[in-house]
Amino acid sequence: LSLLAITGCVQMTLAWTDLNPDGPVAEPPLLIAENQPVSPDEWRATRAQEIREALEAHVYGMMPDASSVSVLERKVIDENAYDGLGVLEEIVVKAMATFNGVPAETSAFRVNIVLPKNAVRPSPVIMMASFCPRWDTIRHPGVYRPEEAGSCVEGFASPIFGYIFGRYNATPPIAEILSHGFGFAAIYPGEFIPDNRERGLAALRDLSKGHEDDETRWGAIGAWGWAYSRIVDLLETDERVDQDGIISYGHSRYGKSALIAAAYDDRIDGVIAHQSGTGGASLNRQKKGESIKQITGGYPHWFSQTYAAYAGREEDMPVDQHHLLALIAPRPVLLGNARRDVWSDPNGAFRAAQAADAAYELFGSGGLEQERLDEWRPTADLAFWIRAGTHGTVKEDWPAFLEFLDAHFKSDGSS
């Protein structure tokens, strides 16, 4: 299992100071160059595209011109998984990316999907990518696991990690999620874009052969975001799936990717980005916690080299992370935070949400319906969740996520 994931978590815990509730509101999100209000049509036709291009050029690197997925094998593992609540499947796929007319494909990887059994209507589905493997996310003996493969939830150190980072980082409460009427799809991007400097960069290069410029080549955070969309490629032809209820969910580095996924793919209808921090929901300007220098120094395979070049001169960036949130408007987004998780800068995420609110309003949405960080409004389209404690997914988090999901998506089980 990735040493980077472990050092990342340790870094998070060491940054254990309390939240700074002050801080200026960021610039309005409707512009890159000029401060002009736009209409929803103008936003969709020009401004959103301009922002996507700027985020690629300055933060994440270039996304493919075309993409697809091909299914190599598909089987039902268990008709009665989770005590009869769901049908569990495993799909072996390869994903394709084309840059400047040159196609390339990933190595084969697996997607596990569990859908509520006997649903009377198509089910919304939560997609999750994680630094913990699929066989940790979906704890079922039928899920394929390579020999001698690592795990976040086994071994002598796992109770300690579970204690510090919460027991839900690796394994969400899937039985409960199914009983709320939601399906669940899991991938482990480490299977095809490893979270490792050398191997990660090599995989990213192989997949983007047609893109010659190393400075603007995509990093793993963008490519993992693209990987969520390859799950959507599978879900969008499945009649059991509610096509208005496809949600990207991720924690921390995958929270960043879950946001990118929705910002670049309109087929995604909602996002839960938990503690996504730098390169995710938190602004680069006036940042507390992890700086561009720290993130690009520690994880050189995560972003384009152009982002690293803004270290120490964040004010010069023509985009900031509220633009990423604005691209998702008016679709529902939950930003998860913890008060002592200052490394991911909850305050910077709140300021980004305040700034992105204007994009929600442009579409007639109430957007962020809270003035303070701790006024939780699960029904808001831009919902900001903050709890006590540190980095991780703990027992209070999923009840809040489910409150948000039940409020925004139609499922059989919703209360």
d(CA 386, CA 12): 16
CB of 277 to ligand GCU, least distance (A): 5
For 159-188, letters b (16+ CB in 10 Å) and e give eebbeebbbbbbbbbbeebbbbbbbbbbbb
Three-class SS state of 130: coil
Q: Is 253 in the site for ligand GCU (CB under 6 A)?
A: yes
Residue pointed to by tokens 């991938």: 187
- Nearest-CB residue for ligand GCU: 8
43 or 299, CB closer to ligand GCU?
A: 299
Residues 6+ apart with CB under 8 A from 247: 124, 125, 126, 127, 182, 268, 269, 270, 271, 272, 405, 409
Closest to ligand GCU by CB, 47 vs 253, is: 253
List Cα–Cα distances, 180 to 3, 90, 123, 372, in angstroms: 35, 22, 10, 29
Question: What is the residue whose two structure tokens read 């972003």?
Answer: 303
Alpha carbon 278 to its chain centroid, in Å, reads 13
Binding mask 12-51 for ligand GCU (x = CB under 6 A): x---------------------------------------
The site string for ligand GCU over 76-105 (x = CB under 6 A, - otherwise) reads: ------------------------------
Binding residue count for ligand GCU, defined by CB under 6 A: 12
The smaller minimum CB distance to ligand GCU, of residues 341 and 403, is found at 341
Whichever of 253 and 285 has its CB closer to ligand GCU, that residue is 253
* Integer Cα distance of 201 and 194 in angstroms: 8
In the range 342-381, which residues lie near ligand GCU by CB under 6 A?
Answer: 343
Beta carbon nearer to ligand GCU, 52 or 391: 391
Q: What is the smallest separation between the CB atom of 381 and ligand GCU, expressed in angstroms?
A: 24
Considering the complex, what minimum distance in angstroms separates the CB of residue 292 from ligand GCU? 11
Stretch that binds ligand GCU, among 4-12, 43-51, 319-327, 345-353 (CB under 6 A): 4-12
Applying the rule CB under 6 A, the residues between 297 and 316 that interact with ligand GCU are 298
Q: By CB under 6 A, tell whether 195 contacts ligand GCU.
A: no
Closest CB 199 distance from ligand GCU, rounded Å: 17
Compute, in degrees rounded to 10, the torsion defined by CA atoms 351, 355, 360, 365: 60
Q: Which of 67, 112, 252, 365 binds ligand GCU (CB under 6 A)?
A: 252
Beta carbons within 8 Å of 369's beta carbon, 6+ residues apart:
377, 379, 380, 382
8 near ligand GCU (CB under 6 A): yes
Contact region with ligand GCU (CB under 6 A), list: 3-11, 35-43, 196-204, 223-231: 3-11
Two tokens, residue 245: 């209820």
Quote the least distance from Cβ 338 to ligand GCU, whole Å. 12
Q: 249 forms bridges with which residues in the sheet?
A: 128, 272
Which of 1, 2, 6, 11 touches ligand GCU by CB under 6 A?
11
Q: Which of residues 272-291 bind ligand GCU (CB under 6 A)?
A: 277-278, 290
Among 8-16, 101-109, 151-159, 206-214, which window interacts with ligand GCU (CB under 6 A)?
Answer: 8-16
Task: Quickly tell me which residue has 């209070």 as its tokens.
Answer: 396
**Cα distance between residue 381 and residue 255, in whole Å:** 17
Helix 48-55 with 321-328: angle, nearest 10 deg: 140
Query: For ligand GCU, which residue of 91, 132, 295, 355 counts as binding (CB under 6 A)?
Result: 295
Q: Shortest CA distance to 397 belongs to which of 372, 378, 371?
A: 378
**Which residues contact ligand GCU by CB under 6 A?**
8-9, 11-12, 252-253, 277-278, 290, 295, 298, 343
